[in-house]
Amino acid sequence: MSEAKQIAEEKSTNEPISSAKTITLRIAKFNPKHDSGAEFANFKVPYERWTTVLDAILDVKKHLDHSVAVRYSCRQASCGSCGMKINGRPRLACFTKISELNSDVITVEPMNNFPIVRDLVVNFERLFATHKKMQPFIIREDSEITSDTKEFLQTPEEHEKYIQFANCIKCGLCNSACPTMATDSSFMGPQALTQAYRYVADNRDKGKDKRLKIIDDSHGIWRCHFAGSCSQVCPKGVDPAMGIQLLRGYLLGFRK
């Protein structure tokens, strides 16, 4: 008994089960209907090694301030709902651990370059509208499969040419990080342009000329200056900057 007690005592002093660490979570609170500007509300939140920013926000929502508006869903970086600015950089809240930020103060704000609905929730209408403008579907004359079943064959090499860009979860982080979108509301944005390339690079698609005409605009692909911030923040490895430059290669005659 005394031996067991001794072991328990040793374990409790050498290996704490809970870290009991806290950070200050600053959440931007703003309701456009009656506030003139955002104000930060500070909350002390406990965290563990595995706590994500989304966990912390939901902790605040549950125990401290029920009114915090936040959009989230899958909690595993699949749906793209929880995009926000965390310590000045657009990230997915569910995919960002507090411990990796190396800061006692975590500031969360709504993503830039999107109209604010409330607090951390932003309006995605423009992103979806621009995405739809790219005709994000396979365009070909013979797309109806007749009774003599027709397969659209694709080799692994052909598949590899576009699959990376199909990983886009429409989280909008790239549009938030883009320096052109910071001032140009008419710019199509890295998300839409990358999706244009996703379909142009797909050998099943025959709509390349149509899409190239759409993006060849004064607020289209030419307003991308290869700053690369979109690729820096993309949580799914889509690398929008690569897609946009490869797409531009078609317009410049580097690719046919």
Q: How far is the CB of 142 from other proteins (least distance, A)?
A: 26
Q: Can you tell me which residue has the tokens 């576009």? A: 162
In this structure, the number of other CB atoms found within 10 A of the CB of residue 200 comes to 24
The enclosing H or E element of 4 equals: helix 2-14
Site string (16-35) toward other proteins, x via CB under 8 A? ----------------xx--
Scan residues 39-78 and list those touching other proteins (CB under 8 A): none
Scan residues 98-127 and list those touching other proteins (CB under 8 A): 110, 112-116, 122-123
249 binds other proteins (CB under 8 A): yes
**Rounded to an integer, what distance in angstroms lies between the CA atom of residue 193 and that of residue 185?**
15
Stretch that binds other proteins, among 8-16, 19-27, 63-71, 247-255 (CB under 8 A): 247-255
Q: How far is the CB of 169 from other proteins (least distance, A)?
A: 12
Nearer to other proteins, 6 or 167 (CB): 167
**Rounded to an integer, what distance in angstroms lies between the CA atom of residue 240 and that of residue 226?**
10
Structure tokens belonging to residue 110: 């709504």
Structure tokens belonging to residue 49: 């090694």
**Rounded to an integer, what distance in angstroms lies between the CA atom of residue 236 and that of residue 199?**
18
Nearer to other proteins, 7 or 163 (CB): 163
DSSP β-bridge partners for residue 45: 23
Size of the site for other proteins (CB under 8 A): 62
Of the residues 43, 72, 162, 199, which one makes contact with other proteins according to CB under 8 A: 162
CA 86 to each of CA 56, 112, 145, 168, 233: distance values in angstroms, whole numbers, following the listed order: 12, 11, 47, 20, 11
Stretch that binds other proteins, among 18-26, 51-59, 61-69, 220-228 (CB under 8 A): 220-228
Q: Can you tell me which residue has the tokens 């870290």? A: 19
Nearer to other proteins, 45 or 108 (CB): 108
217 binds other proteins (CB under 8 A): yes
List CB contacts of 214: < 8 A, sequence separation 6 or more. Answer: 133, 134, 135, 196, 220
Instruction: Check: CB of residue 242 under 8 Å from CB of residue 215.
Output: no
Nearer to other proteins, 149 or 183 (CB): 183
Structure tokens belonging to residue 231: 């690729």
Residues that bind other proteins (CB under 8 A): 32-33, 88-89, 110, 112-116, 122-123, 160-165, 167, 177, 179-187, 201, 216-220, 222-223, 225-229, 231-239, 241-243, 245-246, 248-249, 251-252, 254-255
